Amino acid sequence: MRVLDLFSGIGGFSLGLERAGMETVAFCEYDEPCREVLRKHWPDIPIHEDVRNLDATQYRGSVGLVCGGYPCQPFSLAGKRQGEKDDRHLWPEFFRIIGECQPDWVLAENVAGHINMGLDQVLADLESEGYTTQPFVIPACAVDAP
């Protein structure tokens, strides 16, 4: 399966997905130091710089999975929890890209604070486009982290 990796960071999703037999066809990452890491490990994969400027129609019909961990700051218990009022609230851009690309699968990641602040909207958005949703909560202790 071919993957479009959004909010890519240093490629954690793609690393795991490629180990599962998938192929990353493009990244989208705003942070330049992270893009440097992506270029080092995936020198032949295109990197888009900003989801707000990404025209994902170019991937329609060629990508089976769109993945990403969109910014958590709007929902994090460690932050101000401004939700949609936070300029880092980029779920709408993620959702726009899903609509343009029309993948078979979507894999999205965020913090536990999102559960009672905005997750219902994310699930409703995906379901409005015909996706069946299944949220999972995976606490740090599930992987023996403190």
Q: Scanning the structure block, which residue is given the tokens 């880092």?
A: 88
Length of the chain equals 146
Options 28, 34, 67, 72, the catalytic residue? 72
How far is Cα 81 from Cα 74, in angstroms, rounded to an integer?
A: 5
Q: What is the pLDDT of residues 2-52, one digit of tens each?
A: 999 999 999 999 999 999 999 999 999 999 999 999 999 999 999 999 999
72 noted as active-site residue: yes
Q: What is the pLDDT of residues 58-80, one digit of tens each?
A: 999 999 999 999 988 888 788 78
Q: Which of 99, 89, 20 is nearest to 66 (CA)?
A: 99
Q: What is the pLDDT of residues 9-19, one digit of tens each?
A: 999 999 999 99
Q: Phi/psi of residue 5, each to 5°?
A: -105, 110
Report the SS3 class of residue 123. helix
